[in-house]
């Protein structure tokens, strides 16, 4: 691709934001594979031409157009979009028009660099004459990932509900994979089964998502679970249970974390990773918390306009959170009656743990607010070890590591930090093997939580 000019700051407001997705091709990065594909299916159900971009194939491009100081997920996603555009340009020739696409890249406010990815990527895209008209569709944590404006107003709420539901289904399929694979009768059968189940759920969510026929999707998911249970060899003994937390991109992107869950399983673990739904709930919870704080401040100063605005925000975010928690609880209640998958923690409960232990305040923000109490909860529930997965130099995960490392030491629970960049680390396997040896010892001494039987 030919390089061109660097543009001014106006591009950061004119070409990064929430845009209508009608008549555009919406490009969704593949972070968590299942979650991304199910979300794209829901979007398609609502008439949006959504596609999941291939991931990791453009890593060389990502490296070429970053300096090395950016977070690893920024490098990967930079590569993904450049690779996708290069492929589309080659495929379509003169019919390729960058303005036909919208590249979906959410952002977060707060103290770390996630809020800067889309700005940085905007600057890079604008340096190519053929890509400067490719807009970046950005959802922000500032307004609780509002979808307003991307489709017609009357359907926004339904799109949000169906999108959230698809994330919950994605989490459940992932948890099913991690629950079955370590005990499968036939090597490779679980991966194949989950891939087929994902395609089935895609088809159902695309068709039933817009009508909010969530119970019908769950009826079929229950059959999937019954089928999946048949892959488990009941003669296999239970394994040490490992909880995973960390930065959301790294812990869910199997290429970026070099398929860490599979490696842990190879050394004898059963793993449970933190979910995507928990992060979305946290965003709504945090937005509600900020609105509440704003309201109290306005009340103290008796600013009625501001009070009205914050009250409206509180009702909106409170409604989102209420709905999400309701949907989550109801879905897991049905699924857990069939198989012992772990449920998600309520965010209010995680905040309570942080307060009780006096380790960090939610005012600091970032994923450390979820990871630290999540680890404590794993410890309380009797997990045999905890792994923290994150990009090298990631700020929230380094905070988590600094706080939780000594705590786990005190509690006698094996703990492992696994920072990643695009290099392969020579001592990685030895560190994981040593960690798993410790987890095995913990398991022998203390047993493990609930699902001690494999079948």
Q: Quick one: angle between helices 214-229 and 156-180, nearest 10?
A: 10
Q: Which stretch binds ligand SF4 (CB under 6 A): 13-21, 112-120, 158-166, 259-267?
A: 112-120
Q: Single out the residue of 21, 112, 136, 335 in contact with ligand SF4 (rule: CB under 6 A).
A: 112
Q: Any bridge partners for residue 387, and if so which?
A: 244, 416
29 binds ligand SF4 (CB under 6 A): no
Kindly state the tokens that stand for 430. 């030895």
CB of 287 to ligand SF4, least distance (A): 18
Nearest to 449 by CA among 343, 347, 353, 333: 343
279 binds ligand SF4 (CB under 6 A): no
263 binds ligand SF4 (CB under 6 A): no
CB of 204 to ligand SF4, least distance (A): 32
Residue 438 to residue 449: CA distance in whole angstroms? 17
419 binds ligand SF4 (CB under 6 A): no
408 binds ligand SF4 (CB under 6 A): no
114 binds ligand SF4 (CB under 6 A): yes
Pairing of strands 415-420, 49-52: unpaired
Q: Which stretch binds ligand SF4 (CB under 6 A): 78-86, 108-116, 424-432, 439-447?
A: 108-116
What is the enclosing helix (H) or strand (E) of 167? helix 156-180
136 binds ligand SF4 (CB under 6 A): no
Alpha helices in 272-366 (DSSP H): 276-301, 304-336, 347-357
Q: Single out the residue of 30, 107, 247, 320 in contact with ligand SF4 (rule: CB under 6 A).
A: 247
Question: Judged by CB, which is closer to ligand SF4: 134, or 399?
Answer: 399
Residue 190 to residue 186: CA distance in whole angstroms? 8
Q: Single out the residue of 396, 422, 435, 439 in contact with ligand SF4 (rule: CB under 6 A).
A: 396
Size of the site for ligand SF4 (CB under 6 A): 10
CB of 395 to ligand SF4, least distance (A): 4
How many CB atoms are closer than 10 A to CB 22?
Answer: 12
394 binds ligand SF4 (CB under 6 A): yes
Residue 148 to residue 160: CA distance in whole angstroms? 9
Nearest to 367 by CA among 261, 452, 246, 257: 246
CB of 202 to ligand SF4, least distance (A): 27
Report the SS3 class of residue 364.
helix
Q: Single out the residue of 58, 240, 385, 391 in contact with ligand SF4 (rule: CB under 6 A).
A: 391
> What are the backbone dihedrals phi and psi of residue 170, each rounded to the nearest 5 degrees, phi first?
-60, -45
Question: Judged by CB, which is closer to ligand SF4: 33, or 113?
Answer: 113
Q: Do 37 and 52 meet the contact criterion of CB atoms below 8 Å apart?
A: yes
Give me the residues that bind ligand SF4 (CB under 6 A), please.
71, 73, 112-114, 247, 391, 394-396
């Amino acid at each position: 691709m030919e390089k061109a000019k660097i543009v001014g700051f106006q591009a950061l407001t004119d070409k990064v934001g929430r845009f209508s997705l009608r008549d555009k091709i919406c490009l969704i990065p593949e972070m968590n594979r299942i979650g991304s594909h199910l979300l794209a299916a829901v979007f398609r159900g609502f008439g949006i031409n959504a596609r999941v971009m291939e991931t990791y194939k453009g890593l060389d491009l990502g490296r070429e157009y970053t300096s090395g100081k950016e977070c690893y997920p920024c490098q990967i996603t930079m590569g993904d979009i450049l690779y996708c555009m290069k492929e589309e340009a080659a495929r379509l020739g003169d019919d390729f028009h960058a303005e036909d696409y919208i590249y979906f890249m959410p952002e977060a406010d707060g103290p770390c660099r996630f809020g800067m990815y889309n700005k940085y990527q905007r600057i890079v895209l604008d340096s190519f004459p053929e890509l400067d008209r490719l807009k970046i569709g950005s959802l922000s944590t500032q307004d609780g990932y509002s979808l307003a404006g991307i489709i017609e107003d009357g359907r926004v709420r339904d799109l949000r509900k169906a999108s959230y539901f698809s994330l919950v289904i994605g989490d459940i399929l992932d948890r099913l994979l991690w629950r079955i694979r370590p005990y499968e009768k036939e090597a490779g059968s679980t991966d194949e089964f989950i891939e087929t189940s994902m395609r089935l759920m895609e088809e159902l969510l695309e068709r039933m998502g817009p009508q909010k026929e969530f119970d019908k999707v769950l009826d079929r998911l229950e059959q999937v679970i019954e089928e999946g249970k048949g892959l488990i060899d009941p003669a296999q003994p239970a394994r040490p249970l490992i909880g995973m937390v960390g930065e959301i991109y790294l812990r869910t992107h199997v290429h970026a974390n070099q398929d860490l869950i599979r490696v842990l399983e190879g050394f004898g673990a059963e793993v449970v990773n933190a979910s995507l739904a928990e992060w979305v709930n946290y965003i709504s919870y945090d937005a509600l918390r900020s609105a509440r704080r704003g309201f109290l401040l306005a009340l103290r100063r008796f600013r009625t306009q501001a009070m009205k605005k914050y009250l409206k925000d509180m009702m909106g975010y409170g409604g989102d959170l209420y709905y999400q928690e309701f949907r989550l609880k109801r879905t897991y209640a049905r699924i857990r009656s069939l198989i012992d998958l772990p449920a998600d923690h309520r965010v209010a409960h995680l905040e309570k743990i942080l307060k009780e232990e006096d380790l960090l305040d939610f005012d600091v923000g970032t994923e450390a607010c979820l990871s630290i109490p999540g680890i404590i909860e794993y410890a309380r529930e009797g997990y045999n070890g905890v792994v923290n997965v994150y990009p090298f130099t990631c700020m929230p995960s380094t905070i988590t590591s600094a706080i939780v490392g000594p705590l786990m030491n005190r509690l006698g629970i094996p703990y492992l930090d696994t920072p990643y960049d695009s290099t392969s680390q020579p001592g990685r396997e030895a560190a994981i093997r040593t960690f798993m040896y410790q987890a095995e010892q913990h398991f022998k001494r203390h047993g493990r939580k609930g699902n001690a039987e494999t079948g």
